[in-house]
Structure 1
């Protein structure tokens, strides 16, 4: 029978050889973290470090690791500095020592973790994606200075944002905060919200987000904005928003996209491509409310200006109407007084002139009578003959006799018209005949 040894003897020899080979040497190792668990009770981290082929992602090396004491404290500082949890799929640069114990086997004991390396890896991937977006999509993505200009940024947000398509996870606390802020606003604004739920964590779910954007577009609904929101988390939780396909879809989308991705440090590429980027879902809701409130305030100010202008115009027209009324009343009264005065003068003249003529004739007759008494009978006869001649002529010139012969007398405003120049077109005339008077309007005159 061959000689044998106990397992513990073999593991002790392995332990001794490993300690002789590696001793107290520490090594900086680049690897990905998998199978991570954390025991809060004793502040222990258990994990595996793996190396994968770049093209196929096939694992080419794997070893168990642990961190406790100073190593666990380094992990805490790493998470605080980067905003990134030490968890699965994190690409890290760690300082480790090789340890082997018979009870737990071969392990790497984590002593330190390089914060700048992980941040640098994130930034490298981010910059590479941005360069790819710019080079492949110059028609709707450009960079001017430090700013990215996209087609989505060129869309102008409507003065009132009410009809929303929301891209979020149905279990997201940020989504609940967003809805609560909108629905309990102090101005009682109402919103129509269509939910397009999808996972918003894990880079593999970027394709699902793009698919939901397509669903929004194909719905044919006239949304005022698309809201992309997510609550807080570690930096790797936001890698989905640095995805090339998602960022490209946002940059090209025909409806304004507003992002509220709950991280406070760096902007994601989706933020850079979107129309408006805000830090949290609650900030998005507050932005929409502020946008609508601004429109309402402008509307109220316009209403006030219209009311004031209307009142001023009404008062001005009232004063003008009163002035016109006063002017017309005084003008009409003056015209009436003038007409009355003119009529009085005309009527007075009509009565005074014939009386004066009669008085003059009567005096002449009296003189003739006195002269006749002192002349001879022959002279009396001559004068009587003349008198008869005058009487005949008077009868012939009597207006009544002239009218009886078919002639007519034309008057304007009671005055006799003696020539055609006194007959203007449109004048109202009185035509007096032997037995009647006719009122007429002059339409035209013709000289003969």
Structure 2
């Protein structure tokens, strides 16, 4: 009895023998019969390559994490004419989607058997950009919700930024426009920035792991702040910054992370987790420059306040010295005038006498003159000593002379003098003025001197 074959042929006495061409033709007919028209397939792009003649080839796989073997995949061919149509579809969607490894897509095509290579191929003819954007947004929302539940969204934002963040860690693709923009901004500021750069892949399926590795590397270098930057691109180009891996690495950083990722309209999960997010790489670098300039402006203002206070104190001392000198001069003049009047009276009385009276008057006159002169000289001497003492006090209170002798003047950051230990606490910022400049310090501990032991009375 004849047995019906799989392909409808009648064979007697065993299975048919086919040539490779006949087998390929039958597979092609079966494929065309089972899938006569276009179909939509969703999956993850892998092994994307582009040929010189404009064709593109890739595998469309079941989505898996980076480095894992997919459970199923199919070869996709995008010929040059259809590729042009697909690019037009992507442009009409605003250029937010770019086909690249690791991107999940929904594509249109026909399933065909390619006999020369013996492979089953999906001949791509269209793409649904909204599907990719929707998956990106759904993943973004899911990751942000998980991070918020773990209390990590504000973790990096709560870290204090150093007053003078001159040691900057830079995580970016070395040689990129973003890398050049940041270095140009920092170097052009004229400030003494020290930059520790860690190269990272900022696009593709390996971007997230590369960025995390670079973040940990610069953090170990003891930097004050980290700049995580990348230039603009399609939404899919920035997918590495929308991953849970990068987000949790930023939350775990021991120093503030400033981001400058993409264009002004882009906002990634990395931006949400960072201490502060900026529109561009240049803007992120400019924010660090502004922090250092603001500190220098505050230092200049404190020095100006101290200089004005010293000048005011010197002016008050000079005015007091002038007033006291004037009073001493007037007192000496009055004393001399009184003695002169007494001398004139004695001379008149002496002139009215004669003989012995005149002699006695001469003696009295000489005595009175000597006494008046002595008292006047003593009065003037006391006045000179008082004037010298006042001048010495003024000089002793001159801040500049005290500084020149090796003394220093210490005030708080707002200009208040420091006189007692009990006025200070840990964390207080002090400004110490020397003859050749100022130094700013912060108190870490305050140790009061132990009280002296009680003195015992002698028995």
**TM-score bracket relative to the smaller structure:** 0.5 to 0.7
Shift of 1:86: 0.5
Distance 1:173 1:107, change over 3 A: same
Is it true that 1:256 corresponds to 2:269 in the alignment? no
Instruction: Pick one of 69, 72, 79 that aligns with 2:84.
Output: 72
Task: Report the counterpart of residue 192 of structure 2 in structure 1.
Answer: 190
| Residues 219-263 of structure 1, C-alpha deviations (whole Å, 9 max, x = no match) | 5x4x32123334445544433333334322322433222223345
* Contact preservation (8 Å) 1:34, 1:48: yes
CA distance in 2 between partners of 1:134 and 1:34 (Å): 32
Shift of 1:88: 1.9
* Contact preservation (8 Å) 1:82, 1:119: no
Is it true that 1:179 corresponds to 2:192 in the alignment? no
* Contact preservation (8 Å) 1:45, 1:72: no
CA distance in 1 between partners of 2:215 and 2:82 (Å): 46
Distance 1:86 1:217, change over 3 A: closer
Equivalent residue runs for 1:7-22 within 5 Å: 11-12=24-25, 14-16=27-29, 18-22=31-35
CA distance in 1 between partners of 2:52 and 2:327 (Å): 98
SS of 1:98 mapped into structure 2 = strand
* Contact preservation (8 Å) 2:181, 2:282: yes
Distance 1:267 1:3, change over 3 A: closer
Is it true that 1:30 corresponds to 2:42 in the alignment? yes
* Contact preservation (8 Å) 2:46, 2:60: yes
Is it true that 1:94 corresponds to 2:107 in the alignment? yes
* Contact preservation (8 Å) 2:170, 2:218: no
Instruction: Pick one of 129, 132, 141 that aligns with 1:115.
Output: 129
Shift of 1:91: 0.7
Q: How many residues align?
A: 341
Distance 1:176 1:54, change over 3 A: closer
Instruction: Pick one of 100, 116, 141 that aligns with 1:127.
Output: 141
* Contact preservation (8 Å) 1:82, 1:115: no
Shift of 1:92: 0.8
Task: Report the counterpart of residue 395 of structure 2 in structure 1.
Answer: none
TM, length-normalised to structure 2: 0.60
| Residues 130-178 of structure 1, C-alpha deviations (whole Å, 9 max, x = no match) | 2222223x3xx3xxxxxx522x212332332212233344454533442
CA distance in 2 between partners of 1:21 and 1:211 (Å): 48
SS of 2:160 mapped into structure 1 = coil
Distance 1:116 1:338, change over 3 A: farther
* Contact preservation (8 Å) 1:65, 1:109: yes
Is it true that 1:51 corresponds to 2:62 in the alignment? yes
* Contact preservation (8 Å) 1:258, 1:277: yes
Equivalent residue runs for 1:430-445 within 5 Å: none
Shift of 1:349: 11
* Contact preservation (8 Å) 1:53, 1:60: no
Is it true that 1:83 corresponds to 2:96 in the alignment? yes
CA distance in 2 between partners of 1:52 and 1:302 (Å): 60
Shift of 1:5: 6.6
Shift of 1:118: 0.7
Shift of 1:306: 5.0
CA distance in 1 between partners of 2:51 and 2:264 (Å): 28
CA distance in 2 between partners of 1:57 and 1:103 (Å): 27
Task: Report the counterpart of residue 160 of structure 2 in structure 1.
Answer: 156
CA distance in 2 between partners of 1:35 and 1:8 (Å): 29
Task: Report the counterpart of residue 239 of structure 1 in structure 2.
Answer: 239
* Contact preservation (8 Å) 1:96, 1:108: yes
Distance 1:197 1:33, change over 3 A: closer
C-alpha RMSD over aligned residues: 4.1
| Residues 91-112 of structure 1, C-alpha deviations (whole Å, 9 max, x = no match) | 1112223345655764323332
SS of 2:109 mapped into structure 1 = strand
Structure 2 alignment gaps of length 5 or more: 1-12, 358-370, 373-459
CA distance in 2 between partners of 1:213 and 1:14 (Å): 52
Query: Which has the higher mean CA deviation after the structures are superposed, 322-331 or 305-314?
Result: 305-314
TM, length-normalised to structure 1: 0.61
CA distance in 1 between partners of 2:238 and 2:90 (Å): 17
SS of 2:286 mapped into structure 1 = helix
* Contact preservation (8 Å) 2:209, 2:245: yes
Shift of 1:83: 3.4
Distance 1:188 1:160, change over 3 A: same
